[in-house]
Amino acid sequence: MPEYLTMLLRRPPVGWWDILDIAIVSILIYEFLKLIRGTRAVQMAVGSLFIVGLFYVSRLAPLQTVNWMIRNMLVYVAFAAIVIFQSDIRRALAHFGQAPFFRYFNRQEAADETIEEIVVAATMLATQRVGAIIVVEREIGLRNYIESGIPLDARLTYDLIVTIFHPGSPLHDGAAILQENRVAAAACFLPLTVNPKVSRELGTRHRAAIGLTEESDAAAIVVSEETGQISLALDGGIERGLTPDDLRDRLRALVILRRSGRSAAAGAYDV
């Protein structure tokens, strides 16, 4: 017995590669469990654990017939699982493809898509003369303002933005805040500017956009309900009467160039 304990406790030294190996396996198991949570695969995982446990019990008992049946059945179970859970397998592969490591290579493409969705939404709202405030979070977090609205955490699409600001929508009052290519919240309250130099022609939406950019580095796109003009507020100033191409260029400078580590030249802003 002492010799057995000595052999059991005698382990080779643990190196950095061993730690990395354990960390990778732990992350894979965690992501797998998070992925199958709430799906049919949970029942399959429980059933698989039961069969594996029964296999080891059949070897210790020994239950030769049970052991033989499980060994011959496992081959067909693997093929059956692929056929039955093909949609879950596709979803799992897509999920791993969206991991932070892979998203690094698709960052610019995702930023281009986000900018295009914003430009299309702003253009449609301006054409219909529907008032809107679309806030793009940058370096400084906007959690306080996000919590003041209705949380969405939805994928950014132009039709979602247009739907949010439709006059019949309960979310049309307030601002929509975009965070990491997603619509974090809608109907958010923004602080109004108290700058006396702000033109009296500007309404509440424009003043709220300017007020937010005075307190953070966010960019706020404003669509005027009265004139249908598109404006962009940044650093406490505002540029009015932007065309869709102008807005696209400004957002590219603010988002893509900033992420590339270069300075963002956003044009001339005044009040």
Please give the domain boundaries of the chain with CATH numbers for all domains: 14-103 (no CATH), 107-259 (3.40.1700.10)
The mean pLDDT value of the chain amounts to: 80
Supply the pLDDT for residue 66. 79
pLDDT category of residue 28 using cuts at 50, 70 and 90: confident
- Looking at residues 60-84, what average pLDDT do you find? 75
- Looking at residues 34-44, what average pLDDT do you find? 66
Supply the pLDDT for residue 33. 73
Cβ–Cβ under 8 Å, residues 212 and 200: no
Alpha-carbon gap, residue 261 to 263, rounded angstroms: 7
Decide which of 255 and 270 is more confident: 255
Q: Report cis status (omega within 30 of 0) of the bond before 244.
A: no
End-to-end CA distance of the chain: 85
Q: What is the percent of the chain with per-residue pLDDT over 90, rounded to a whole number?
A: 37
Count CB neighbours of 186 within 10 A: 26
pLDDT category of residue 268 using cuts at 50, 70 and 90: very low
Q: What is the pTM of this model?
A: 0.61
